[in-house]
Structure 1
Amino acid sequence: MDDCRPLGFLIGLPFALIALVLSLIGAVVWVIGSVLSCICPCCICCAGLANLAVSLVKLPVNVIRWFIDLIPC
């Protein structure tokens, strides 16, 4: 339990909840971008939009890890 930093987790929790809402928006954008890229494969911007949406989906985990790593002990 060397990496257990509950204070960083508690401080980061409200920001992770905001990031969770953004990740839900990212999931919707990813589905729409995937459908558009399947319909029209020549539209390269849909692939970039889908990649952005995937990074939004990963955002809550990244926020919590960042806050946990920020607290020294």
Structure 2
Amino acid sequence: MADCRPLGFLIGLPFAFVSLLLSLVGAIVWIIGSVLSCICPCCIFCAGLADLAMSLVKLPVTIIQGFIAFIPC
């Protein structure tokens, strides 16, 4: 129960919702980047774009964990 920080979770919830919308955009970009990198493997830009999109997909979890870790309650 020592790791339970409800205030950090509640404050981070609106930011996580906005990042959830960004993660949906990231998922779409990841799918397009993956298809383009399969079609043209010599295009390294598509692989970098897919990596960036994966970090966008992980963003909501990262934001919630950051708020829970940095807000003491």
Query: Aligned AA for 1:12?
Result: G
What secondary structure does 1:25 align onto?
Answer: helix
1:15 aligned to 2:15? yes
Q: How does 1:1-12 map to 2 (within 5 A)?
A: 1-12=1-12
User: Runs of 4+ in structure 1 displaced over 2 angstroms?
Assistant: none
Query: Aligned AA for 1:40?
Result: C
Query: Aligned AA for 1:20?
Result: L
**Matched-pair identity in %:** 77
Q: How does 1:38-49 map to 2 (within 5 A)?
A: 38-49=38-49
Q: Report the alpha carbon displacement of residue 71 of structure 1 after superposing the two structures with TM.
A: 1.1
What secondary structure does 2:36 align onto?
Answer: helix
TM-score norm. by structure 1 comes to: 0.98
- Aligned-pair Cα RMSD in Å: 0.5
> In the comparison of the two structures, how many residue pairs are matched?
73
Q: What is the CA–CA distance in structure 2 between the aligned matches of 1:34 and 1:71, rounded to whole Å?
A: 37
CA deviations on 1:12-66 (whole Å, 9 max, x unpaired) are: 0000000000000000000000000000000000000000000000000000001
1:58 aligned to 2:58? yes
Q: What is the CA–CA distance in structure 2 between the aligned matches of 1:32 and 1:58, rounded to whole Å?
A: 17
Structure 1: stretches of 5+ with no match in the other structure: none
